[in-house]
Amino acid sequence: MSASSTKFRVNIITNRCKECGICIGVCPTKVLVKGDKHNEHGFRYPLPVNIERCIGCRLCEYNCPDFAIFVEVVKK
């Protein structure tokens, strides 16, 4: 799943997520929150509900141990 602001898109490969919560903790602007839906392995993946706050720092992407989240610049 993914969410976009006018500048950045945060993509979550839901079935890779192991619900560690690291991305939620490292995001400086609190874009990500714990989700309530489970992936096919039973883990609840995060949701980028506050996507308009994303500054594109990619700390979520760099810190995810399972390569489950990545950030793109939205092309105009």
Round to whole Å and give the CA distance between 9 and 43.
Answer: 22
Burial class (CB in 10 A: 0-12, 13-18, 19+), 48: buried
Q: Give yes or no for residue 52 binding ligand SF4 (CB under 6 A).
A: no
> How distant is the alpha carbon of residue 62 from its chain centre?
11
Q: Give yes or no for residue 21 binding ligand SF4 (CB under 6 A).
A: yes
Q: Give yes or no for residue 5 binding ligand SF4 (CB under 6 A).
A: no
Out of 3, 27, 35, 39, the only residue in the binding site for ligand SF4 (CB under 6 A) is 27
Which residues lie near ligand SF4 (CB under 6 A)?
Answer: 10, 12, 17-23, 26-29, 31-32, 45-46, 54-60, 64, 66, 68-69, 71
